Every structure is written in C-alpha cells, then in structure tokens.
A = this chain, B = another copy of it.
Amino acid sequence: MERAGAPQAGPRGRISPQALCRAIREDVIRGVHRPGSRLTEESMAARYGVSRVPVREALRALEAEGFVRSRPYAGIVVVELDDAEAEDLLEVRALLEPLGAGRAALRRTPEQLGRLKELVSLGRAAIEDGRLDELARLNSRFHEVIAAASGSRTLSRLVTQLSQKIAWVYSVDLPRRAQDSWREHEEIVAAVEQGDPEAARAVVARHIAAARSAYRRRAPGPADDRS
C-alpha cells in the first residue's frame, strides 16, 4: 500500500468528522484507494488516526454518494466505474450544468463572482506550474461554485456529486485540454458576470460537449488500470 493520504492528523489534534470524510473521498479520487479494493475499517482507522466509529460514519456518507459500496458483513469496497458509466456521467452533466449556469447568470452574488474569478486565476497558475492534480480539484470547485450560484440547492448538490465523480474518472487526464478548458472557464465567468443566461447556457454547453468529445477521443479504459 502506498502512503499518500496517510496520518496527516499526526500526534495530537484529531481530525473533524467532515474533514475525515473529505480526506477519504479525496484519497479515493486521487487513486490512493484503488477501485475494487476493499477498505477494512481497522486499516482505515489506523491510516487516518481515528477509531473505527468515525470511519464507519464517513464511509456511510461516501456510500450514499456512490463512491463505495457496502454489503452487510461483506465489507466495503471502492466501486469500479466503467466506460459506460463515465459516459453517463458526462451525459447527465451536459443536461444539468447549462441549467445551472443560466440561473447563475441571473442570481449570482458578487462574492460568488469573485470566487469564480479567483478560481480562474488559480487555475491559470496551476497550469503554469503543471500541478495537474491541483488543477483537477480546481476544476471541480469551479463547476461546484457555478452550481451553487444558481441558487438551487438541488442543482448544487447534484452537480457537486457529479463533478467529484467526473474528477475521479478523469483523474490524471487531459493535460493538453487544460488550456482550452480554462479559457472556456473565463468565457463562462464573463457570461455570468454580464448576467446573460442564454450566453452562459450556451458556453457551458459547449464546454461540456468539448470535454465529452475530448474524453471519447482518448478513451481507452478509464478506471480499469488495475495493476
């Protein structure tokens, strides 16, 4: 087992429950916990420096989000996403995100707009430095903030789930497209700033479509890289 999301809690100062859940999800997305691998409660507890109880709670939440699957007395395993499911994720995303962007153009707060601009600049910097995993996280954040700016909690929740799963599937992927992707992000922010829902919808739709075709073009096997 490699060590990446290892005992960051250190000696003292326990990790909060929410932080624990995020940490495990991050590690699943980053591939620390491989698809199909079994997550025994005790090893997880040892890894994150807590007891089994908070681990169980975090894993229940992750199960509800669809990252792991558990069956009674059979343990918890990381789900394996196949090509078809990756396609489905993008298809649903192509439906939901334009809706969210259109509403965001009408309802966004100045704070949210500022946050978007901040994310864009962080994204550009990450491209410069070649920090690809950071880029994936920023990308997720960007789309989550757009969804949150739509003012629809439903949309926000669903897009957030999708966004994280998509980051998982794409994982270490498409560094070439990063340039175009973040240029499109700037266009999205512009449309949202102008308050033009039609433009926002259209730009986001183009953005998602480009991501889909890029994924399809180089789709050999998404998450089946079992070594």
Contact = CB atoms under 8 A, between A and B. Distances in A.
Interface of A: 16-18, 53, 56-58, 60-66, 72, 84-85, 88-89, 91-92, 95-96, 99, 151-155, 157-158, 161-162, 165
Contact of A153 (B61, B62, B85, B152): B85
Nearest to A64: B64
Contacts of A165: 154
A72 B18 contact: yes
Contacts of A65: 64
Contacts of A157: 66
Contact of A158 (B58, B85, B92): B92
Contacts of A53: 53
B66 A63 contact: no
A15 B152 CA distance: 36
A88 B155 contact: yes
A88 B57 CA distance: 29
A152 B72 contact: no
A18 B64 CA distance: 11
Contacts of A92: 96, 99, 152, 154-155, 158
A161 B63 CA distance: 14
Contacts of A91: 99, 152
B72 A16 contact: yes
A88 B56 contact: no
A156 B63 CA distance: 15
A81 B88 CA distance: 29
A112 to B, nearest CB: 17
Contacts of A155: 88, 92
Nearest to A17: B72
A53 B84 CA distance: 37
A154 B89 contact: yes
